[in-house]
């Protein structure tokens, strides 16, 4: 008797097993469906119970208003994900540079921000009797304060434009204005007499260096560049670390820079946008409402020590926190962050001074033949003579800065991530 090959025997065995499995499944289909339904019911009940516990927990901490905001956030996230899937599937979503590019007309009002802040100080913080400063918190050494009878912190005024004094620190004043219920924009004014505007701007525009001195920046990359080289517009993706109780926040924003030689100022501007290379991620919270304008003005020239800057920004992080928490974080963490920014600029100066490979000057960047540093042609108004986009840069990094950032991170409270003091860039 001729034996069949092993491969035939294996195939026959598998065929019989398949037939037996199908027959058994048909005979016991009712039992299988019942087990499957019980399993799904158990999972749904467990998820519902866990969700109810989370809602109860947040309701006890933040109250009914915050719980409603949380539910709205879930709904918006689901809608964004569905919209992204549909647009991607049909290939309709393309980035429109003509629409999303930050225009000169948008930036033009901020050329006068330094002068505006000085008027704001006089309107809101100067005593009409003695013409000295009214304290709005802890007094800063070296500042002459008003001692008139009946004058206190409650005597500060809100400006006609809605700005109210909020915080004071060394070399720093902050105002805020309510844009939406419980959502504020902030105007920060700082003065430094020992760093140059050139170095300060370099630190602001160098994303690689930012990832060293700012330990909250997990991802920070340029994802697209304007095809019109002279505009110097870029799209940046930024993921920011938040504490374990919250999802990390991420941003997609357009940034652009202008120089006004007539008024001797540089304006760095950013605005949230959407880009097909940066779809919404389910494990991150996308911040869709964000803008900032930083006006930097040197005392004399851009390469001489001494500058003042005004940062006006708004950020909606998508979470409602009790007022006492946001106030505490602002009063403690805003000065800390500005100090880190100042130290990063000082560190950049020393690296540039003692390492020839890191010698980057503002004048070199302005006159570079590289296309990305050429002067823009878009600006064409009577009072904008000499304006041009500011440079971007890619600076080397050192291990010393990484160690400094690591040491700094060990001293920070996780509450520092709950307030938008990270937007000073």
Q: 363, 361, 386, 364: which is closest to 375 by C-alpha?
A: 386
- CA 257 – CA 364 distance, rounded (Å): 17
Cβ–Cβ < 8 Å for 30, 37: no
User: Is the model's pLDDT at 416 over the cut of 70?
Assistant: no
Domain ranges of the chain: 26-68, 104-354
Q: Which tokens belong to 346? A: 């000082």
Enter the pTM of the model: 0.64
Q: How many CB atoms within 10 Å of residue 408?
A: 16
In the prediction, which pLDDT does 127 show? 84
Taking only the tens place, the pLDDT of each residue in 282-336 is: 888 899 999 999 999 999 999 999 999 999 999 887 777 777 777 776 677 677 7
Cβ–Cβ < 8 Å for 304, 349: no
Give the whole-number percent of the chain exceeding pLDDT 90. 31
In the prediction, which pLDDT does 302 show? 93
Q: Which tokens belong to 384? A: 């904008």
CA distances from 208 to 45, 238, 354 (A): 47, 12, 20
Q: Which tokens belong to 369? A: 């033949």
Does the CA dihedral 390-394-396-400 come out positive or negative?
A: positive
Taking only the tens place, the pLDDT of each residue in 14-73 is: 778 877 777 776 666 677 777 777 878 888 888 888 877 777 776 676 666 666 776 777
Local confidence band at 114 (pLDDT 50, 70, 90 cut-offs): very high
Mean pLDDT of 79-105: 67
Mean pLDDT of 99-103: 89
Please give the class, per CATH, of domain 104-354: alpha beta
In the prediction, which pLDDT does 244 show? 76
């Amino acid at each position: 008797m001729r034996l069949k090959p092993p491969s035939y025997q294996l195939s026959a065995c598998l065929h019989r097993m398949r037939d037996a499995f199908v027959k058994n499944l048909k005979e016991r289909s009712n039992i299988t469906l019942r087990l499957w339904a019980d399993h799904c019911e158990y999972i749904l009940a467990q998820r519902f119970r866990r969700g109810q516990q989370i809602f109860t927990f947040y309701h006890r901490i933040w109250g009914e208003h915050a719980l409603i905001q949380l539910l709205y956030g879930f709904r918006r996230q689901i809608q964004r994900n569905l919209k992204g899937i549909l647009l991607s599937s049909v290939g309709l979503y393309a980035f429109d540079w003509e629409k999303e590019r930050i225009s000169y007309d948008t930036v033009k009002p901020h050329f006068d921000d330094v002068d505006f802040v000085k008027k704001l100080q006089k309107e809101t913080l100067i005593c009409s009797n003695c013409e000295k400063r009214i304290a709005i918190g802890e007094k800063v050494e070296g500042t002459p304060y008003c001692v008139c009878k009946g004058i206190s912190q409650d005597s500060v005024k809100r400006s006609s434009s809605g700005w109210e004094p909020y915080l004071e620190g060394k070399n720093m004043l902050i105002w805020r204005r309510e844009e939406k219920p419980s959502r504020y924009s902030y105007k920060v004014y700082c003065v430094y007499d020992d760093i140059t505007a050139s170095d300060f701007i370099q630190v602001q525009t160098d994303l690689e260096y930012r990832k060293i001195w700012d330990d909250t920046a997990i991802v920070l990359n340029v994802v697209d560049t304007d095809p019109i080289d002279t505009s110097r517009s870029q799209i940046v993706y930024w993921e920011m670390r938040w504490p374990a109780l919250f999802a990390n926040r991420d941003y997609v924003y357009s940034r652009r820079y202008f120089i006004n030689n007539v008024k001797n100022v540089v304006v760095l501007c950013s605005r949230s946008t959407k880009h097909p290379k940066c779809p919404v991620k389910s494990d991150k919270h996308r911040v869709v409402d964000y803008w900032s304008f930083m006006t930097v003005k040197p005392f004399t020239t851009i390469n001489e020590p001494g500058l003042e800057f005004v940062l006006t920004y708004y950020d909606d992080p998508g979470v409602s926190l009790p007022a006492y928490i946001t106030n505490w974080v602002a009063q403690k963490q805003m000065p800390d962050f500005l100090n880190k920014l100042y130290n990063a600029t000082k560190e950049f100066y020393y690296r540039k001074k003692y390492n020839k490979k890191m010698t980057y000057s503002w004048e070199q960047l302005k006159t570079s033949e590289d296309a990305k540093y050429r002067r823009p042609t878009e600006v064409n108004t009577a009072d904008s003579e000499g304006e041009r986009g500011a440079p971007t840069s890619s600076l080397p990094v050192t291990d010393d800065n990484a160690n400094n950032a690591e040491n700094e991170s060990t001293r920070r409270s996780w509450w520092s991530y709950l307030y938008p003091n990270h937007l000073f860039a």
